[in-house]
Amino acid sequence: MEDKILEMLQKADLRVTRSRKEVLDIFCQSGDQAISSSDIEHNITGIDRITLYRILKTFEESGLVHSVADGSGKTKYALCSHECSGGNHHDNHLHFYCRVCDTTTCMDHVKLPAVRLPQDYQVEEMRFVVAGVCKDCH
Ligand SMILES: [Zn+2]
Ligand SMILES: [Zn+2]
Ligand SMILES: [Zn+2]
């Protein structure tokens, strides 16, 4: 795990710091679950909010994580796929928000409907959020 995290930071051209390693470790453990900054705060002792905020911004700009607006009012973040790089995200997958347990899951394998826009409108990013009840709460 440790090696994988170092490799990810190096690949993203980021200096390795203890906090960055700890935050990235939590993302790796969360897998396809999106987590909020308060979730991360609860899991790392002694990290201050501003440091964490900066790390999340840096990670997002470097293509390590993407943000998810799931309608819960909290911004959550999840690990990116390998195709993402700095300033170039490809996370146009569906996010599922469970209203019962308040979790958000990245769903890479769900086929998305094609979006056809009127002429002269250009898509730059797409966000798909589906809310409902997850398999654990069903
Ligand atoms: Zn991404
Ligand atoms: Zn649930
Ligand atoms: Zn996602």
**Ligand whose nearest atom lies closest to the CA of 80:** 1
Q: Sign of dihedral through CA atoms 21, 26, 28, 34?
A: negative
Kindly report the pTM of this predicted structure.
0.89
Query: 127 C-alpha vs ligand 2 centroid, how far in Å?
Result: 20
Question: Which structure tokens are listed for 32?
Answer: 């396809």
Answer whether residue 43 shows pLDDT above 90.
yes
Q: Print the domain residue range for 74.
A: 2-132
**What mean pLDDT comes out for the span 50-67?**
96
Answer whether residue 66 shows pLDDT above 80.
yes
Tens digits of per-residue pLDDT, 75-104? 999 999 878 988 888 888 999 999 999 999
Answer whether residue 59 shows pLDDT above 90.
yes
Query: 34 C-alpha vs ligand 3 centroid, how far in Å?
Result: 7
Query: What average pLDDT does the structure give for the chain?
Result: 92
Tell me whether residue 12 is in a domain. yes
Tell me whether residue 137 is in a domain. no
Domain count, the chain: 1
Question: Which structure tokens are listed for 121?
Answer: 């409108």
Answer whether residue 9 shows pLDDT above 80.
yes
Tell me whether residue 138 is in a domain. no
Triad 79, 124, 116: Cα angle to 5°: 115
**Ligand whose nearest atom lies closest to the CA of 12:** 1
Question: Which structure tokens are listed for 57?
Answer: 């911004």
CATH number of residue 99's parent domain: 1.10.10.10
Give the span between the Cα atoms of 5 and 123, in whole angstroms: 33
CB 103 within 8 A of CB 33: yes
Task: Give the list of residues 6+ apart from residue 118 with CB closer than 8 angstroms, or none.
Answer: none
Predicted pLDDT at 8: 94
Query: 100 C-alpha vs ligand 2 centroid, how far in Å?
Result: 5
Q: What is the DSSP letter of 88?
A: B
Triad 103, 72, 125: Cα angle to 5°: 90
Tell me whether residue 104 is in a domain. yes
Tell me whether residue 64 is in a domain. yes
